[in-house]
Amino acid sequence: MNNRLSLALRGAAFYLCGAAVLGLLLFLPAGTFHYPGAQRLMALLFIPMLLMGVVLFFKSPALLAKRLQNKEKEAAQRGVIGASALMFLAAFVLAGLDFRFGLTHIPVLLSHIAGFLLLAGYALYAEVMRENAYLSRTVEVQENQTVVSTGLYGVVRHPMYAATILMFLSMPLVLGSLLSFAVMLIYLPLIAMRIKNEEALLTKDLDGYAAYKDKVRFRLFPHIW
């Protein structure tokens, strides 16, 4: 019971802190809470996140605990995480300033389409979590871990990262900011660096991963990369 309570408290703290930080990064630079794009993004992010967290808490608490773990052991991965944090900081602050001063504009229809793409990314992310019980936020090989090669993992080797690309590139369009979108493109080389480092570790330490790479040729996008 104490472990479940601890997990619930950690999950609630992670959720509330995330919402508070994102709200500050968006609404403070915007100078107002009347920022429709930011309101939509907050709803699109945190309502599904709450539902997913509740489902994981009752159905797969061990996986939820892994998703809350964020202490990277690999120095290269810590560098990627740090650079990603700076990217998100700049992208969200710029989006707020963009809205405040009317620097760039995105058609409302495109913003709404981006919202649907963000939800599609969430759905893809949820499916990856359903398929892979070893899915951690950190790059590591876990005890008794085996290679997952079915479902989405039979199409590309890193479907979770493909889902995050869809989600993260949709966010600035939901916010209505081309400046923010330009900054968020930095995620592409960052995730490529993370994947290369992760695959080197998995090839060395996870039995069967080298054969899996031969079987599933593409990392993120079929017939592209």
Per-residue pLDDT tens for 94-114?
Answer: 999 999 999 999 999 999 999
Cβ count near 15 (within 10 Å): 15
Q: Binning pLDDT at 50, 70 and 90, where does residue 29 land?
A: very high
pLDDT digits (tens, 9 = 90+) for 132-186: 876 665 556 666 678 888 889 999 999 999 999 999 999 999 999 999 999 999 9
Cα–Cα distance for residue pair 46/111, rounded to 1 Å? 18
AA identity, residue 159: P
Q: Considering the domain 2-215 in this protein, what is its CATH number?
A: 1.20.120.1630
Query: Domain locations in the chain?
Result: 2-215
Cα–Cα distance for residue pair 6/119, rounded to 1 Å? 29
Cα–Cα distance for residue pair 11/71, rounded to 1 Å? 16
Cα–Cα distance for residue pair 158/63, rounded to 1 Å? 18
Cα–Cα distance for residue pair 3/44, rounded to 1 Å? 30
pLDDT digits (tens, 9 = 90+) for 36-88: 999 999 999 999 999 988 988 888 888 788 777 766 666 667 888 889 999 99
